[in-house]
Amino acid sequence: MPERIVFHIDFDYFYAQCEEIRNQSLKTRPVAVCIFSDRGGDSGAIATANYIARKYGVKSGMPIKFAKARLGEIKESTFLPADFAYYSDISEKAMGVMRNYADIFEYVGKDEAYLDVTKRTEGSFERAGHLAQQLKNQIRTEVRMTCSVGVSSNKLVSKIASNFRKPDGLTVVKPEGVESFLGPLKIGDIPGIGKVTEEKFDEMGLKTIEDLRKVDIFTLNKMFGRKISAYIFNAARGLDDEPVAERQPTIQYSRIVTLKEDSKDYEFLSKSIDEICLDLHRTILKHNKMFKSVGIQFVQSDLTNKTKSRMLKNPTSSMDEMKKTALQLLQEALSDQQIAVRRLGVKVSELSDMEGQRSITNYF
Ligand code: DGT
Ligand code: CA
Ligand code: CA
């Protein structure tokens, strides 16, 4: 079997970069994206921060209050509430670009994917490096986003490599360079090795992956059990044969109709929303799904697009909820609408399975 070539792609400071995309002026200031809890005020946590805010020590998972304390004095630092539906739209767009580069495309999460490119590069790392650069360029021009890419012959090393130089990194690790690439990295740079495990090794005087290679499999077995220790033992040597497995982002359902005439009249458009929701809701029930995000889409008379979406508090399969949210979005979208709408659509996403909840879910 020829050597595989695998990309791991991870978008840089994802939520915060999405915010920069729609407001370029954020690029020069510290930006933190917050998930406010229901308790109000500043209770809640930081989802992520741009690299300027990170310089001041702001990071994912930190209480908003701490982050405000760190950035409070800094001019123009900006705290924004997370807008998941919007981040999903950006993610979709970027995934759409990436999947064209892959023989096998594995969606991992909103800001992450593996691509097997063995066939199209004919196993050449030189070609793979160029392909990765091309992909980065296309994401930059079409989505206005930077990402970091790791290229190697397996998923494990590519994941470590994508994280090696961030943001906007591209790290190619050829098979003959794997051992020397991994050697100086921290044990905690191995995916899945958390703080606790890292500390255990630290107590043994082991800090780098090179140090870790000195631990024999029997010692590891005693520490972690067979399965985990086999993983750690192989990971330290850059060994991983897990295949890239085709996986697309979770499905979303949408309906779009062309209106009888172009319009920006709420009364007129809302009638279509009613019909679209009825139709869309049938699909939801048929697939036994709940949705957590509702969006609307305009194709305007000049054929440009406009979208707006909203995350709900809880997953639901209720048609009322779908319609209510779509109508709200419609009203908001029309408030500053210049051009008439030609086609109107509704989409639901963030789907989950309904699994036996039929009886307690309110359908209509
Ligand atoms: P990066 O990749 O280091 O440049 O920065 P991010 O922000 O892309 O970090 P990553 O890839 O670990 O996570 C992707 C997104 O997931 C991130 O933009 C926000 C969200 N996220 C990450 N960590 C946390 C967390 O601890 N809490 C919450 N609520 N969201 C998180
Ligand atoms: Ca990321
Ligand atoms: Ca990620």
Q: Tell me, what's the pLDDT at 38?
A: 62
The residue with greater pLDDT, 286 or 76, is 76
Q: Does the N-terminal peptide bond of residue 184 adopt cis geometry, omega within 30 degrees of 0? A: no
* Cα–Cα distance measured from residue 268 to residue 79, given in angstroms and rounded to the nearest whole number: 38
Cα–ligand 3 centroid distance for 90 (angstroms): 14
CB 53 within 8 A of CB 32: yes
What value does the mean pLDDT take over residues 13-29? Answer: 97
Q: Can you give the pTM of this predicted structure?
A: 0.75
Q: Which residues pair with 164 in a beta bridge?
A: none
The CATH homologous superfamily of the domain defined by 1-175: Reverse transcriptase/Diguanylate cyclase domain (3.30.70.270)
Residue whose CA lies nearest to ligand 1 atom number 31: 47
- Determine which one of 19, 20, 106, 112 is catalytic: 112
**Ligand 1 atom index nearest CA of 109:** 14
Q: Tell me, what's the pLDDT at 362?
A: 35
Q: What is the pLDDT of residues 170-223, one digit of tens each?
A: 999 999 999 999 999 999 999 999 999 999 999 999 999 999 999 999 999 999
Closest CA to 113 of 246, 251, 231: 246
What value does the mean pLDDT take over residues 45-61? Answer: 96
Q: Which of 15, 17, 48 to mutate to test the pocket of ligand 1 (most atoms within 8 A of CB)?
A: 48
- Residues with CB under 5 Å of ion ligand 3 are 10, 111-112
**Ligand 1 atom index nearest CA of 12:** 4
Q: Tell me, what's the pLDDT at 72?
A: 85
CB 343 within 8 A of CB 258: yes
Q: Which residues pair with 105 in a beta bridge?
A: 115
Q: Is 38 exposed, middle or buried (0-12, 13-18, 19+ CB in 10 A)?
A: exposed
| Ranges of each domain in the chain | 1-175, 183-235, 253-363
Q: Tell me, what's the pLDDT at 1?
A: 56
Residue whose CA lies nearest to ligand 1 atom number 15: 14
* Cα–Cα distance measured from residue 121 to residue 31, given in angstroms and rounded to the nearest whole number: 38
The residue with greater pLDDT, 283 or 114, is 114
CB 209 within 8 A of CB 182: yes
Q: Which of 13, 14, 17 to mutate to test the pocket of ligand 1 (most atoms within 8 A of CB)?
A: 14
**Ligand 1 atom index nearest CA of 112:** 11
Q: Which residues contact ligand 1 via a Cβ below 6 A?
A: 10-15, 35, 45, 47-48, 60-61, 111, 166-167
Q: What ligand is nearest to the CA atom of residue 109?
A: 3
Q: What is the pLDDT of residues 94-107, one digit of tens each?
A: 999 999 999 999 99
* Cα–Cα distance measured from residue 56 to residue 94, given in angstroms and rounded to the nearest whole number: 29
* Cα–Cα distance measured from residue 330 to residue 309, given in angstroms and rounded to the nearest whole number: 10
Of 32-46, 283-297, 349-363, the range with the lowest mean pLDDT is 349-363
Q: What is the pLDDT of residues 161-174, one digit of tens each?
A: 999 999 999 999 99
Of 21-35, 92-106, 274-288, the range with the lowest mean pLDDT is 274-288
Closest CA to 102 of 93, 92, 113, 111: 113
At 138, the amino acid letter reads: Q
Residue 152 belongs to what H/E stretch?
strand 147-152
Biggest alpha carbon–alpha carbon distance for the chain: 74
Strand arrangement, sheet containing 147-152: 104-109, 112-116, 6-11, 147-152, 170-172
Q: Tell me, what's the pLDDT at 317?
A: 94
Mean pLDDT taken over the chain: 93
Q: Tell me, what's the pLDDT at 283?
A: 86
Q: What is the pLDDT of residues 345-360, one digit of tens each?
A: 999 998 887 764 443 3
User: How many helical (H) and strand (E) elements, i.e. helices and strands, does the chain have?
Assistant: 14, 13
Of 11-25, 56-70, 82-96, the range with the lowest mean pLDDT is 82-96
* Cα–Cα distance measured from residue 62 to residue 215, given in angstroms and rounded to the nearest whole number: 34
CA 251 to chain centre: 15
Residue 344 belongs to what H/E stretch?
strand 341-349
Cα–ligand 3 centroid distance for 108 (angstroms): 9
Give just the sign of the alpha carbon dihedral 199, 200, 204, 206.
negative
State yes or no: pLDDT of 361 exceeds 80.
no
Multiple choice CATH, 253-363, 3.40.630.10, 3.30.1490.100, 3.30.70.1450, 1.10.10.10: 3.30.1490.100
Residue whose CA lies nearest to ligand 1 atom number 13: 14
* Cα–Cα distance measured from residue 87 to residue 35, given in angstroms and rounded to the nearest whole number: 14
Q: Tell me, what's the pLDDT at 88?
A: 82
Q: Tell me, what's the pLDDT at 305?
A: 83
Is CATH 1.10.150.20 the right assignment for the domain spanning 183-235?
A: yes
Q: Tell me, what's the pLDDT at 326?
A: 98
Of 260-269, 287-296, 321-330, the range with the lowest mean pLDDT is 287-296
Residue 346 belongs to what H/E stretch?
strand 341-349
State yes or no: pLDDT of 123 exceeds 70.
yes
112 is catalytic: yes
* Cα–Cα distance measured from residue 49 to residue 30, given in angstroms and rounded to the nearest whole number: 8
**Ligand 1 atom index nearest CA of 51:** 4
Q: Which of 51, 60, 87 to mutate to test the pocket of ligand 1 (most atoms within 8 A of CB)?
A: 60
